Amino acid sequence: MFLTFELLKMVIFILLGTKIAGHLCNRFNLPVVFGELTVGLLIGPALLNLVRETEGIHLFAEIGIILLMFLVGLESDLGLLKKYLKPAIMVATFGVFVPFIFITILGQLIGMGTPESLFLGIIFSATSLSITVQVLKEYNYLDNEAGAITLGAAILDDTFVVLLISIFTAVVNFDSTVGFTLPMLWDVIGKKVLFFVITYLIAKYLIKPVMDMTSKINAIKAKTAMALVLCFAFTIFAEEMGLSDIIGAFFIGVMLSTHESSHEIESDLDTIGNSLFIPIFFVSIGLGIHVEALFTQFWLILILSVGAIATKLVGGYLGSRIMKVNRKSAFVVGSGLVSRGEMALIVAKIGQELGYISDTFFTVVIASIIVTTLISPLLLKFSISLEENDDAESVTT
């Protein structure tokens, strides 16, 4: 019971802190997610130490990111995502390989070995889909060109990064006397292809009959409960296939978005998610900041952070411009890819467990990820305001 009380006390601090921060952010016209991340820094071990990264907080945060990505899928316009698929692929390609190449070279320059440098490049190739979409949602930017390209590119970024990890581990562990084997190819490519094939078939033939049948069940919130069943099932399925769990949550959300009950489900889950689980997720990112590391490794963190921000911004911008996106919209897209957030944290943890990121350097990596995550909402807000001002001037003239 003591552990339950401890968890409840921390949840109280998180909820009060995030709602006060949300009020202040709205008052000063800042992205709400920036306030939630800052709350994690303030009430976490770095400063007030009111909230810690316990198993309970971690569980709530995991549910939070799954619900957030499911909601993003539900709110997505499938037609718009299809329409901007080609520019999203181009942006994702530049958005992954520009930081991958630059950060790998940076790793070599600071004395890291080749495998370690390559893995560092993979870490900073990731994009935080959750941070980006939260800001895009807040400013109603999911249903236009820049928002659709950013969303599509961020999804593809994470998919590319998962494939890079698979290829990296396969090459590093490659035994030239054995050669490439079918099990190796299955793990690297086959499972990912199977995930998308099965997702497509279920979306085409099963989603509508299942949801129509659920509509006939005389039980409270049956459709919302079934939506959660599908969400959690696809989360597990994506993880089993070697993809990020949030990819599964997002895609089943997109598939459900075309069903007539999607608005009702979205309303129910928005209340559940944003009143409890989603704020805990964003606060949990801020909990990972250790203030002492910010001072002892300041210059290294600064160089890595600036490199991480600049390479995603440039990569996203170049990819957009190649696809004839206007300059200010291209800046929005590039800004939307800057945050590394949860995906980079997951990849960094994998790197540490595999021995490619030392315990000492791990703190530097985490601090740099946190910096990009804190800067990203402000940069995205700034780029959106530039485009909106430009649109307003065009209407006036």
Enter the pTM of the model: 0.74
Cβ atoms of 273 and 265 closer than 8 Å: no
Q: Which of 12, 103, 17 is nearest to 283 (CA)?
A: 17
Q: What is the pLDDT of residue 272?
A: 92
**pLDDT over 80 (residue 345):** no
Q: Tell me whether residue 36 is in a domain.
A: no
Q: Which of 63, 11, 18, 62 is nearest to 41 (CA)?
A: 18
d(C-alpha 255, C-alpha 133), whole Å: 18
Contacts with 194 (C-beta within 8 Å, 6 or more apart), sequence order: 241
d(C-alpha 251, C-alpha 237), whole Å: 11
Q: Which residue has the higher pLDDT, 179 or 36?
A: 36
Q: Tell me whether residue 123 is in a domain.
A: yes
Residue with tokens 């390209």: 149
Please report which confidence band the pLDDT of residue 249 belongs to, taking 50, 70 and 90 as the band edges.
confident
d(C-alpha 199, C-alpha 193), whole Å: 10
**pLDDT (mean) for 220-238:** 93
Cβ atoms of 127 and 339 closer than 8 Å: yes
**pLDDT over 60 (residue 2):** no
Chain-centroid distance, C-alpha 360: 25
* Residue type for position 58: H
* Residue type for position 149: I
Long-range contacts of 40-43 (CB under 8 A, 24+ apart): 40/282, 40/283, 40/284, 40/285, 40/286, 40/287, 40/288, 40/289, 41/286, 41/287, 41/289, 42/17, 42/286, 43/13, 43/14, 43/17, 43/283
Q: Tell me whether residue 197 is in a domain.
A: yes
Q: Tell me whether residue 213 is in a domain.
A: yes
Which of 127-131, 176-180, 356-360 has the least mean pLDDT?
176-180
Q: What is the pLDDT of residue 309?
A: 95
Q: What is the pLDDT of residue 348?
A: 82
Q: Tell me whether residue 31 is in a domain.
A: no
Cβ atoms of 149 and 386 closer than 8 Å: no
Write the CATH number for 360.
Answer: 1.20.1530.20
Q: How many CA atoms lie within 13 A of 379 on its CB side?
A: 21
Cβ atoms of 307 and 299 closer than 8 Å: no
Cβ atoms of 61 and 278 closer than 8 Å: no
* Average pLDDT, rounded, for the chain: 84
d(C-alpha 361, C-alpha 355), whole Å: 11
Highest mean pLDDT of the ranges 68-72, 330-334, 372-376: 330-334
Q: What is the pLDDT of residue 290?
A: 67
d(C-alpha 71, C-alpha 308), whole Å: 28
Q: Tell me whether residue 13 is in a domain.
A: no
Q: Tell me whether residue 35 is in a domain.
A: no
**DSSP 3-state of 391:** helix
Phi, psi of 257 (to 5 degrees): -65, -20
Torsion of CA 127, 133, 134, 135, to 10 degrees: 90
Q: What is the pLDDT of residue 395?
A: 46
Token representation of residue 114: 């080749």
Q: What is the pLDDT of residue 323?
A: 92
Q: Which of 192, 188, 191, 159 is nearest to 174 (CA)?
A: 188
Which of 11-15, 203-207, 317-321 has the least mean pLDDT?
203-207
Q: Tell me whether residue 47 is in a domain.
A: no
Q: What is the pLDDT of residue 394?
A: 52
Q: Which runs of consecutive H residues, i.e. helices, occur in 221-261? A: 222-240, 245-256
Domain residues for the domain of 120 are 53-276+291-384
Count of the separate structural domains present in the chain: 1
**pLDDT over 80 (residue 303):** yes
Q: What is the pLDDT of residue 293?
A: 67
